[in-house]
Structure 1
Amino acid sequence: MFLPRPVRLPGPLVPPPVLLVVAHGSRDPRHAATVHALAGRLRSLRPGVRVETGFLDFDAPSVERLLDRLARTGVREVIALPLLLTRAFHAKTDIPAVLREASARHPRLVVRQAAVLGPAPLLTAALERRLYEAGVAPGDRASTGVVLASAGSSDPEAIAVIAEIAREWRHTGWCAVRPAFASASLPRTEDAVRELRAAGAVRVAVAPYVIAPGLLPDRIARGARRAGADVLAGVLGAAPELARLLLHRYDEAITAPRYLELPRPA
């Protein structure tokens, strides 16, 4: 279990780095509401750390403007935590570009990008929490097939990670676990549900491997209903396991050796 803990560095007492949650953004207002709820949980778990949220698109504030504001108000260190479950395009390209540009604009602002959230046992625990909340009983595991339904990606690394999570999760007692994707890759959720039913699963549950509501999670839900899934779990949302994992990634970024580099001169 990852417990919230204060951050202390050698030498004079300095404020801990700002924890910046970097979310994709969406036209769906439920997305931003979920991100802000998760940020609120982080603040309650780590009251000594300033927590901010920024978005790559659609929602305000943008990551760029938020970093500009932080720099203007004297903030010197930021840990940017991508609210992403796999290391794909946004983690490899979009977010690093935004952070590099901010560093160029504000040479006295040190910005670190933390690792993406997945894979991690805490995410599996959050998925199971949502399945149990949706009506799956712990005793049903051996007769329940699970569809691990992710948003999808054109990045082969991300797809391979989802497949590996499904394989590992299967070994924890479920009848079967199949990956599915809402976009870019196959199979779709409805196809995975039908495959599990044809393979003999007594019941089929769909576990969305997504953080916030929006277009693709809605597509997952439609596919689950269309194929007659017995259980449809909610998105991960502000699950306590997700909040603890974010804080773990924050602490990892702080304790990385390069964190002790001197700030660049103005």
Structure 2
Amino acid sequence: MFRKPVRPVLLVVAHGSRDPRHAATVHALVRRVRSLRRGLRVETGFLDFNSPSVPEVLESLAAEGVRDVVALPLLLTRAFHAKADIPAVLADAPGALRIRQAAVLGPSPLLLTALERRLAQAGLTPADKSSTGVVLASAGSTDPEAIAVIADIAREWWHTGWCAVRPAFASASLPRTEDAVRELRDLGCRRVAVAPYVLAPGFLPDRIARGAAGADVLADVLGPAPEVARLLLRRYDEARGAQPILGSRPLAASARANTGAS
């Protein structure tokens, strides 16, 4: 008798935070993902601060007899956590699990749509676009690849009709949000908006909000926006089509080869 293949479990890997709003937002996003694809098992694991941890979830899945898992980093850029932390955690997973690590969420047109949604919810209309400068405010990174991606996104977004778009960073990199706000004022933008390019509230998003004090509009974090939930499922589907990694040790070796880690 033909049996429908069992879909891999989707394990959403979140960073975690001492701020309770972070985990609450992650869980809200996961609930939206589940609502979009009934029957898909979606679990959540955290790298730090919150529970369950990623190793705890993987151990539990293996004990249940689960064999296939897609681990999806809840990250907007491919920086240290995606290149090193997450592969290292997955490398210690029970050997019976076949794990695929999905790509990070960004960049994606869906994220630009989610940013536009948040700005609209903050009060901007399509008629405001040509006179409004936007600060694309991200958490920041020491990884040059991640910084370059944010700059590329800002340039791409500007071409959709905004007066100007400038990247800014809450940590590790410059300029800061308040500096980008001043630059847009100096450029002559009639209105300045700050769009946090972050997924959930926490310490760095709060820093972005403080830096936005001189702006006219501050959008909310991306959170459980429907576009973000759809993007999680897109990354899951893309990873399902990849060759599964048998056991976890080859995964670690592959990650080292791809990132130059030793």
Match of 1:118 in 2: 106
Match of 2:154 in 1: 166
Letter in 2 for 1:253: A
Find the aligned partners of 2:126 and 2:92 in 1 and give their Cα distance: 48
- Correspondence for 2:6 among 15, 21, 26: 15
Match of 2:74 in 1: 83
Shift in Å, 1:15: 1.8
Find the aligned partners of 2:162 and 2:121 in 1 and give their Cα distance: 17
Q: 1:224-263 CA distances to partner (integer Å, 9 max, x unpaired)?
A: 01xx10000000000000000000000000112x13x777
**In the alignment, is the contact (CA less than 8 A) between 2:99 and 2:247 conserved in 1?**
no
Find the aligned partners of 2:144 and 2:15 in 1 and give their Cα distance: 20
Q: 1:160-215 CA distances to partner (integer Å, 9 max, x unpaired)?
A: 00000000100000000000000000000000000000110000000000000000
- Correspondence for 2:61 among 70, 86, 109: 70
| Cα distance change, pair 262–89 in 1 and its aligned pair in 2 (3 A) | closer
How many residues get paired? Answer: 247
Match of 2:240 in 1: 254
- In the TM superposition, 1:19-38 aligns within 5 A as 19-38=10-29
Q: What stretches of structure 1 of length at least 5 have no aligned partner?
A: 1-10
Q: What stretches of structure 2 of length at least 5 have no aligned partner?
A: 249-262
- Correspondence for 1:134 among 109, 112, 122: 122
Match of 1:176 in 2: 164
Identical-residue share of aligned pairs (%): 75
**What is the TM-score with the length of structure 2 in the denominator?**
0.92
Letter in 1 for 2:25: T
**What is the TM-score with the length of structure 1 in the denominator?**
0.91
RMSD: 1.2
Which portions of structure 1, spanning 4 or more consecutive aligned residues, are displaced by more than 6 angstroms? 261-264
Match of 1:153 in 2: 141
Find the aligned partners of 1:169 and 1:183 in 2 and give their Cα distance: 22
Three-state SS of the structure 1 residue aligned to 2:92 is helix
Match of 1:224 in 2: 212
Are residues 1:92 and 2:83 paired? yes
- Correspondence for 1:43 among 16, 34, 44: 34
- Correspondence for 1:200 among 183, 188, 207: 188
Find the aligned partners of 2:87 and 2:95 in 1 and give their Cα distance: 16
Find the aligned partners of 2:115 and 2:247 in 1 and give their Cα distance: 40
